[in-house]
Amino acid sequence: SAGFNKFLMIVIMMLAAWGLSWLYERYLFKVKPVKRTVAFFKQHNNLAEIVEDAWTNFTAWIVENRVRLLTWGWFYVLSFASFLIESDNLRIQITTATDINAVIFLLGTRFFAIILTAIFLDAMFAIFYFITTRYWTSTVLVTVITIGWAIANKIKLDLRGEPIYPTELDEIVNWKTLMPMVGQQKIIMIAIALVIIIALTVFLEIKFPIKKKGSWKRRGIWALLSLLLFMTPVRFNHDGGIIYHINRGFDNKQSFRNPERDIQINGPLLNFLNYFDLQIMNKPANYSQATINHLNQKYSKLADKINKTRKNTLKDQTIVYNLSESFVDPYTFPTIKIDPKTPNPVKFIQSMKKRATYGSMLSAGYGGGTANMEWETLTGFNMGMFKSTLTPYVQIVPNYDFYPTIGMDFNYKSAVHPFIGTYYSRVEDYKRFKFNKFVYLGSKYKIIDQKKLGKSTYNSDFTAYANGLRQINSMKGGQFINLISIQNHMPYNNWYPNNEYMGKVSGELFNTAAVREQMATYIKGTQYTDQAVKKFIGQIDKIKKPITIVFYGDHYPSILSQNYTGKYPVQMHSTRYFIYSNKYARQHGAKNKLTHNTNFVNTSDFTAMMLEQTNTKVTPYQALLTEVHEKLPAITINFNGDKGFQLVDQKGHFVDPKKLTSEQQAILNDYEMVQYDMTAGQAYGLKAKGFYKIGD
């Protein structure tokens, strides 16, 4: 009955109350803080006395711990300031069309991320204080490092559209080439600021010395705990772990695909720490050596079928993969208007549409990431298959003693780059690619015909092609050349005199004088590229040996804000490419051009396309690449999200992966399996006979 139920509930509640009372008396009230709190309340007869006494104790605690509290407060302010530095004139882009006041946004939505940054700053302070035992020195060191790091990231963000990654710290050895990018004025201001800061620190230590309470043992324990805290980022991105959930609890979430927005909402410190725990790829189901051997057998049969209709081999040809730094057809920029009275800057390259395989290449980068597209071209693998943004040249290739590339099919392979060669660990990685030669500034091989245009500090494309031509003529037989230019690298500081495009650029996105000036400089650079390419094509057409050049721009220049890529995702990741075979190659079986699946391709498609155009036999791996190119939409990174890949059809529209046929899905799974094997796996493919190289 209802009455009995009420009686039963009362009994249960009384028993529960008695049980809790017993637990409280036996355990809770014996805890010192609780015991002191209970005693405090017993000492007073009314609420007014409790409030008055509590306030007195609170203020006394504030005074006693003022140094610690002020230090924590300063670290919060410092953390908040580091976030603000990464904003665009105190605005943060929420969507392509909407931005918001950075102060309101950060205080309203990023409070806990700022707190987490402050915790790391306090940990840094604890380490410095244990070493120096000086309060002001430790505080100033944390301040200088935090603000300096934020400014350094902002400089790179403005120049390249991306922050500083952990893998780039070793680029400090290239400081001579980095300093001109930063600018002399900024360097002078930094030097003056450092002198003032050092003087201020000495003054504070002498006039207002502060000694924090606590023994050296206590300081040592805090320093040790602080060091342990700095080890937690290696588990930030391990889904499901305790550190993962604590990190997410502080609202530290990294997208990895929009670096500019990531650093604005996570701040420069957390953004940097988030990259220590990069997850390369999810392990495919059934991954094993037996699976890779099965794929070798499967695509060996396909390779045999393809090779029945092809007569050429790579080792007898000269193949040039030409990465043209930041080259994009200027007319393809969103909303751009170039005065029609000015000459077409890329007339020759546009004319290649009629005489070569020609189209748009989907870039995995924006404003930077050159080596990623270079890695895709050389290996046939795809950045879209990775779980997060990374640099394979730095984080993957060094894990293997040998790394397979298109160059392994040639008796001689080389790279030519009329710039510093140590960027992206190229010197070491090319050794793993088994390249015979790497020609760069400072190498034992001389860069000839060094020619800079106007006030630019970079060697021109004329220099790049002169050195490429010398390498072509240095060998009688076939060879592979990885030719990387540098001319159109940022910044675009009005390098060229008598620039007919200055003042002739307009458009919705070109809404400031600075952007229009940079764009005019860039367009003039593409005109010089066009002239250099025309000259080079004319030169290789006169050579009596089969030569094929794969020309491609690696990414957009960082002139327009990366935030606009949300509105124009495909357009602002599309660069120009063409594949041209010289007259001699065409006379010996090469095609003039391909016509199937050429409008939109990925960098990783170039090897399959080049092999088809040159009528060249394929390996089992190259047969797989041929299947990927011919039967799948173009694969690229997820332009609209932070994980996975996207598929783009020949009209530049996104394709839902769920709509792939069973045959297409099987090809995609095979491709993913092979890439996992050679990026996060055991490289079983290298042991599978003939998989990567004919006759291996």
DSSP secondary structure string, 524-547?
HHHHHHHHHHHHHHHHHHTSSS-E
Q: Between 666 and 6, whose confidence is greater? A: 666
Name the pairing type of β-strands 479-484 and 318-324.
parallel
Pair of tokens at residue 576: 């120009």
Average pLDDT of the residues of the chain? 90
Q: What is the mean pLDDT of residues 446-451?
A: 95
Percentage of the chain exceeding pLDDT 90: 61
- Which pLDDT band, with edges at 50, 70 and 90, does 160 fall under? low
588 φ, ψ to 5°? -120, 40
660 φ, ψ to 5°? -65, 150
pLDDT tens-digit series, residues 28-72: 877 888 888 887 878 877 888 888 888 888 888 888 888 888 889
List the one residue out of 631, 621, 164 whose CA is nearest residue 409: 621
Q: What is the mean pLDDT of residues 511-537?
A: 97
Q: What is the per-residue pLDDT for 96?
A: 46
CA distance 213 to 86: 36
Res 410 pLDDT > 60? yes
Q: What is the per-residue pLDDT for 498?
A: 92
Res 172 pLDDT > 60? yes
Place of tokens 């804000």: 561
Task: Report which listed range, 137-146, 175-184, 209-218, is most confident.
Answer: 137-146
Q: What is the mean pLDDT of residues 479-505?
A: 95
- Which pLDDT band, with edges at 50, 70 and 90, does 173 fall under? low
Q: What is the per-residue pLDDT for 256?
A: 60
Q: What is the per-residue pLDDT for 395?
A: 81
The answer to whether 462 and 525 are in contact (CB under 8 A) is: no
Pair of tokens at residue 509: 């996105």
Place of tokens 């300096």: 148
Q: What are the angstrom distances between the C-alpha of 129 and each of 140, 223, 552, 683?
A: 11, 8, 52, 46
- Which pLDDT band, with edges at 50, 70 and 90, does 692 fall under? very high
Q: What is the DSSP letter of 101?
A: E
CA distance 370 to 378: 13
Nearest 5°: the CA angle 71, 72, 78 is 90
CA distance 460 to 487: 5
Q: What is the mean pLDDT of residues 511-533?
A: 96
Q: What is the mean pLDDT of residues 405-422?
A: 93
Q: What is the per-residue pLDDT for 95?
A: 52
Lowest mean pLDDT among 238-242, 257-261, 633-637: 257-261
Nearest 5°: the CA angle 85, 90, 96 is 110
Name the pairing type of β-strands 437-441 and 413-420.
parallel
- Which pLDDT band, with edges at 50, 70 and 90, does 510 fall under? very high
Q: What is the per-residue pLDDT for 24?
A: 84
Q: Between 147 and 471, whose confidence is greater? A: 471
The answer to whether 167 and 103 are in contact (CB under 8 A) is: no
For the CA atoms of 557, 558, 561, 566, what is the dihedral angle to 10 degrees?
50
Res 93 pLDDT > 50? yes
Task: Tell me how crowded residue 493 is: count the other CB atoms within 10 A of its CB.
Answer: 13
- Which pLDDT band, with edges at 50, 70 and 90, does 610 fall under? very high
- CATH 2.30.110.10 correct for 289-686: no
CA distance 610 to 552: 13
Q: What is the per-residue pLDDT for 292?
A: 96
Q: What is the mean pLDDT of residues 605-609?
A: 97
Q: Between 216 and 349, whose confidence is greater? A: 349
Res 443 pLDDT > 70? yes
- Which pLDDT band, with edges at 50, 70 and 90, does 481 fall under? very high
Burial of 417 (0-12, 13-18, 19+ CB in 10 A): buried
pLDDT tens-digit series, residues 324-378: 999 999 999 999 999 999 999 999 999 999 999 999 999 999 988 899 999 999 9
- Which pLDDT band, with edges at 50, 70 and 90, does 134 fall under? confident
Give the total residue count for the chain: 696
- Which pLDDT band, with edges at 50, 70 and 90, does 155 fall under? confident
Place of tokens 């960027």: 423
- Can you give the residue ranges of every domain in the chain? 2-63, 65-276, 289-686
Q: Between 694 and 174, whose confidence is greater? A: 694
Burial of 405 (0-12, 13-18, 19+ CB in 10 A): buried
CA distance 522 to 516: 10
Res 183 pLDDT > 80? no
Q: What is the mean pLDDT of residues 641-647?
A: 80
Amino acid at 85: I
pTM of the model: 0.75
